[in-house]
Amino acid sequence: MAQAVEEWYKQMPIITRSYLTAAVVTTVGCSLEIISPYNLYLNPTLVVKQYQFWRLVTNFLYFRNMDLDFLFHMFFLARYCKLLEENSFRGKTADFLYMLLFGATVLTGIVLIGGMIPYLSVSFSKIIFLSNSLTFMMVYVWSKQNPYIHMSFLGLFTFTAAYLPWVLLGFSVLVGASPWGDLLGMIAGHAYYFLAFVYPRMTDRRPLKTPSFLKALFADEPVVVARPEDVRFAHAPFDEIRQD
């Protein structure tokens, strides 16, 4: 069993493995009171006035209490982050890292701007950790990249991957969790998907170009695309087929 887990961990692509490791170590460290969450949460005042810039990163690493919600998000992180990096971004590690940096920047900007808007500032001031939102962003981008894959939710009903973010959002509401984190992740994910995939097809322009210094950090890998045997796809809409 231990050997299987070790092998599974080693087979993870580098960005997924690094983020999952940092998230687990940070959350476990806080649960054991080795690390204080008060030194990790997003606080614009402390960032600007006391130069605690690490908070811009650490608020994406802490997933609150080690409960069922934590396990769910670790599963989402391990699965969809890995699927994106191995498939949609295979051989494009720098582009994948840039997507995460873009998402983190958008999420941070939304929270900072929302905190300055009357009537909304109270709600946004409660959002001090954006780890769930960044994870949900990856789920959203994956669902847009693979909209016709059939999925099942707890064996209760089936749907296509295009509706996965909405199913998870509805589940969060049903269990009494705040939908704000998931909604922010969907906003950031949609912003990235539009600018990275939709807008370039419309205008032949790419507003999101990965910086050359990030590309220099990762060697290009050969691209091998394989369709998993146990994945079923729904039929594309007739209008979309006709346009192709």
Residue 242 lies in a domain: no
Does residue 70 carry a pLDDT above 80? no
Portion of the chain with pLDDT greater than 90, in percent? 39
- pLDDT tens per residue, range 187-241: 999 999 999 999 999 988 889 999 888 888 886 554 444 455 555 555 555 445 4
Q: Are 208 and 192 in contact (CB under 8 A)?
A: yes
10 Å CB burial of residue 174 (0-12, 13-18, 19+) is exposed
Residue 93 lies in a domain: yes
Residue whose structure tokens are 């369709």: 227
Residue 70 lies in a domain: yes
Residue 1 lies in a domain: yes
- pLDDT tens per residue, range 103-153: 999 999 999 888 888 877 787 888 899 998 999 999 999 999 998 988 887
Which CATH number do you get for residue 47? 1.20.1540.10
**pLDDT for 220:** 55
Helix 68-76 vs helix 131-145: crossing angle, to nearest 10? 40
Backbone angles phi, psi at 160, to 5 degrees: -90, 160
**pLDDT for 77:** 83
Tell me the CA distances in angstroms from 209 to 49, 199, 221, one per residue in order. Answer: 32, 13, 19
For residues 42 and 73, give the distance between their C-alpha atoms in angstroms, rounded to a whole number: 19
Residue 234 lies in a domain: no
**Beta bridge pairs of residue 153:** 157
- What global pTM score does this model have? 0.84
Reading the block at residue 235, the tokens are: 């039929």
Task: Provide the pLDDT confidence category of residue 39 given band limits of 50, 70 and 90.
Answer: very high
Residue 45 lies in a domain: yes
**pLDDT for 243:** 47
* Averaged confidence pLDDT in the chain: 84
Portion of the chain with pLDDT greater than 70, in percent? 88
**pLDDT for 244:** 46
Q: Look at the chain and report how many structural domains it folds into.
A: 1
For 95, the domain range is: 1-217
User: CA dihedral in degrees (27, 3, 83, 171; nearest 10)?
Assistant: -50
Residue 243 lies in a domain: no
Residue 150 lies in a domain: yes
Instruction: Look at the chain and count its residues.
Output: 244
Check residue 64 and give left, alpha or beta (phi > 0: left; psi -120 to 50: alpha).
Answer: left
SS (H, E, C) the chain: CHHHHHHHHHCCCHHHHHHHHHHHHHHHHHHCCCCCHHHCCCCHHHHHHCCCCCHHHHCCCCCCCCCHHHHHHHHHHHHHHHHHHHHHCCCCHHHHHHHHHHHHHHHHHHHHHHCCCCCCHHHHHCCCCCHHHHHHHHHHHHHHHCCCEEEEECCCEEEEHHHHHHHHHHHHHHCCCCCHHHHHHHHHHHHHHHHHHHHHHHHCCCCCCCCHHHHCCCCCCCCCCCCCCCCCECCCCHHHHHHC
**Please, which residues have CB within 8 angstroms of residue 132's CB and are 6 or more apart in sequence?**
63, 73, 181, 182, 185
**pLDDT for 172:** 80
